Chains A and B, each alone.
Chain A
Amino acid sequence: MRYAERGYNLEIDLSRGGIERVETDPRLMELYLGGQGTAAKLLWDRVPPEAEPFSPENLLIFSSGLFNGTPVPAATRTSVNTFSPQTSLMAHSLMGSYFGVEMKHAGYDKIVIRGKSPDLVYLWINNGKVEIRDATHLRGKGTQETAALIKEELHDAKVQVAAIGPAGENRVYMASIDHSHASAARGPGPVMGDKGLKAIAVRGTQDIHTARPAELFEICLRLSKELYDNPNVGDWMATDEDDSFHHDNFSWGNARTRRKDFWSKELQGRWTRLKYDHMDRQTGCYNCPKKCHNVISWPGRQRFSYKCYGKDTYHMAAYQELDFSYDILGVAQELGLDSYSTPQVIAFALELLEAGILTDQDFPGMPSDVRKRYFYLLDKITRREGIGDILANGVSWAARQIGKGAEKYDHNTVKKFEQLPIKLGKVNPPYFLMIATGEKMSITQIEGSFPQDPLPTMEQRQEFVKNWAAVPHEKFKEWFLRWEKRNEISNEASCAITDWNEAMHYIDDSLGLCGFVSSFRGQFGGKTGYHVWNIPQLISLSTGLDFDKDKLWKTFQRIRTLVRAVNVRRGLRRRDERPPEDHWAVRNEATEQKLLGDYYEFKGWNSDGIPTKETLDQLGLNYVSDDFIKRGILTGNGGAPSRETSKEKGEQIESRGA
């Protein structure tokens, strides 16, 4: 019997209509855990590096995390991995709620989709019975509407649905896959659309087993209570109405303006009333004691939910207030658009209009009211109509296609991906490393274990480190105690901090643990629900494998290095690892490049960011080093970058300005 995992993947070939249940190698769990870890292995093994993201060879992989469906609380994340058309690199995408758990109860650790369907279809997985069904009647339908229609059609309200909206169907790069109150962004939405797959509906009624169930259950019941009681985990914004942090520190518009005195008591009172006057309830994901989703009913709109900073992105991009976000979020979620990148793309377009690079002719019939403009552009982008067809490729590609100096306004992307709109004064060295080298694309998916800023007094620092159980090594406490100015921290500490921050995300994303109770939440208060000291026991009890902290750490290194290898084989190099030029006002190229070099060395990568043969072999990734040598990558040959995409599948657009 297989414990924690089910031991089978569901393989779907949409070109041929093939459906296969394939047993997996049990050793892969020990090496890569599950979730994104084992997904990275599949992408390495099965997608040749020259395969375009929009090609039948590209895989779209839905993975349950290793802990999904076990009693481990807050193990709610399903990962969706593929190669992103925006970055050409491995897309990192996660969603919460129920999907991965249901998949596992249906009998599958992963749903692996290849090929392309000639017509729009959806997948209906009912335990061992799997059908590829016609979805042409769902074309153009919203994400929640699609889920409701499918449940009705299947006469089962317990079916879990993950669907794309019209944005995904039209291969908009910012398209998300939506499920329940969760949404998987950063790449897989347009690939799902390209494959002609509107939705996956899954229903499972099979047992999940763990190796030492009674002991595990008892520990998990206690953990669940601890997570509930712990104010440092979950979404602080669900209960704390003071959101001065984002509004006073993040940049508004096209990552342009800081409004340091925006927040006020009066505003807080007004927005709190607005929230509670329209909030139905707060919901949680499967077997999680926190409640991070704020479910909002806004007059005349579809009920929607948001969490964390997702509440702020639209009104901050448009220099509006919370009511605007409430008005637009439900619409955007039905269209299936990511709320982090989409507002930035729209703010970028409107800035180009103001600058005269785009003109009124590019926006025929656009209203003058800024709020209405956002709705207008949501529609154009979703339908890839006119300027929307270019904007649908995200800021970085759109800037190149528009030309005429538009490139200068693309000032907030790394690896062609929109970053959070943060523009600060002096460089925070670990943040430099995370933004430069992170392959999960958004800083929220990389930062989180070590605090963002030093605490002002020694007493506060001592208080912070006193019960800091999560640190993998005592040296982190020393570094934190000695840290006084944000920009003054040694390269040695910066490398180790970045490594630890990454470690927790790579572990979470393979186990299906939510960052809000683990990787993301150590930075505020230090007391996370999960860390390298308690996770190994949970792995051991659930899987029956012997795990300890060192073995877990090595597993993280293996998965992280494999993800880097997957991307290196597709052309990722040191030249791509640059934070936006204006991310900090004060820069020093020499010290930054020294830091980057030190980090590569720390990681066991060469000066171009490629893992060395020694590093690879030591982690058991000999098949990677063999491949790198065969391809000449370890001698420094590059790979192919991705190209732009238009509405017509496969067609390339010439850059407008070139």
Chain B
Amino acid sequence: MKSGLKTKIVKDIRVDVDKCTGCRSCEMACSAFHAVPKYSSLNPARSRIRVIMDETKDIYVPIRAGEYTQAECTGRNLYTINGKEYTECSFCPSSCPSRDYFKEPDSGLPLKCDMCEDEPSLVEPMCVQACQQDALIYIEREEVVDEQKKDVKLDDMEIVFDALVKKHGKKRVLDTFARLSKR
């Protein structure tokens, strides 16, 4: 292999929406696995995977919780696939203000899929184990990454600024910093 390149393991879950039966075993299993203590409670509302379903339109899409986002999208696409109309949200993993998926029902705090990282590690994430239809398939694949692009370690100050930039945008932070520095 070329010097400076190395591989990393990427974990994927392949979702086959045609195989989904809407049984929601994945939701049940996820909520059990992430309960504290483990398995002590069952509650699809706490699941980090949800089946977006509309029986009247034959829509069944399991999605896993991704990043939290503060704002909902300003504009959304509608997708027609094989004659069925899906909203962009049908495929979106975000915990977002526009809907109540992927939020702790009591606190409202965002939930995020962690692929069931555990010690000892699971053979497959729990939702995949619970899906007998193979609508969810777990695959690990190697991806080549450029070693030269080292992860930059942020210091404390940078973390603060990074958060501010994420929240308010670079321009506002710079403007504010400029204003502050003139005092």
Residues of A within 8 A of B (CB): 69-71, 73, 98, 105, 144, 148, 156-157, 180-181, 204-210, 213-214, 216-217, 221, 224-225, 227-228, 280-289, 291, 295, 297, 303
- Say whether A228 contacts B132, CB under 8 Å: yes
Enumerate chain A residues within 8 angstroms of B40, measured Cβ to Cβ.
209, 213
Enumerate chain B residues within 8 angstroms of A284, measured Cβ to Cβ.
21-23
With A and B bound together, what is the CA distance between A216 and B39 in angstroms? Answer: 9
Stretch at the interface among B41-49, B110-118, B140-148, B161-169: B41-49
Contact of B32 among A204, A213, A225 (CB under 8 A): A213
Most central of A70, A156, A281, A288 by chain B CB within 10 Å: A281
- Say whether A283 contacts B22, CB under 8 Å: yes
- Say whether B21 contacts A208, CB under 8 Å: no
Q: Which 7 A-B pairs have the closest CB atoms?
A: A205-B45, A205-B105, A207-B41, A228-B132, A289-B132, A213-B39, A284-B21
- 18 of the cross-chain contacts (CB-CB < 8 Å) are A205-B43, A205-B45, A205-B105, A206-B105, A208-B43, A209-B40, A209-B41, A213-B39, A213-B41, A221-B130, A224-B130, A281-B21, A287-B24, A289-B23, A289-B132, A295-B58, A297-B58, A303-B55
Determine the interface band of chain B, counting residues with CB < 8 A from chain A.
20 to 34
Q: Looking at the assembled complex, report how far the CB atom of B182 sits from the nearest CB atom of chain A, in whole angstroms.
A: 48
Enumerate chain B residues within 8 angstroms of A213, measured Cβ to Cβ.
32, 35, 37-41
Q: Looking at the assembled complex, report how far the CB atom of A215 sits from the nearest CB atom of chain B, in whole angstroms.
A: 9
- Say whether A289 contacts B133, CB under 8 Å: yes
With A and B bound together, what is the CA distance between A207 and B129 in angstroms? Answer: 22
Residues 4-34 of B at the A interface (beta carbon under 8 Å): 18, 21-25, 28-29, 32
Q: Is B60 an interface residue (CB 8 A)?
A: yes
Contact of A291 among B21, B37, B38 (CB under 8 A): B21
Chain B residue at minimum C-beta to C-beta distance from A281: B58
Q: Is B174 an interface residue (CB 8 A)?
A: no
Chain A residue at minimum C-beta to C-beta distance from B41: A207
With A and B bound together, what is the CA distance between A144 and B56 in angstroms? Answer: 8
- Say whether B56 contacts A148, CB under 8 Å: yes
Q: Looking at the assembled complex, report how far the CB atom of B39 sits from the nearest CB atom of chain A, in whole angstroms.
A: 4
Most central of B54, B105, B129 by chain A CB within 10 Å: B105
Q: Is B109 an interface residue (CB 8 A)?
A: no
Q: Is B160 an interface residue (CB 8 A)?
A: no
Enumerate chain A residues within 8 angstroms of B29, measured Cβ to Cβ.
71, 221
Contact of A214 among B38, B56, B58 (CB under 8 A): B38
Contacts A217-B32, A225-B132, A287-B28 given: A180-B55 contact, CB under 8 Å?
yes
With A and B bound together, what is the CA distance between A297 and B45 in angstroms? Answer: 31
Contact of B21 among A70, A209, A282 (CB under 8 A): A282
With A and B bound together, what is the CA distance between A216 and B35 in angstroms? Answer: 14
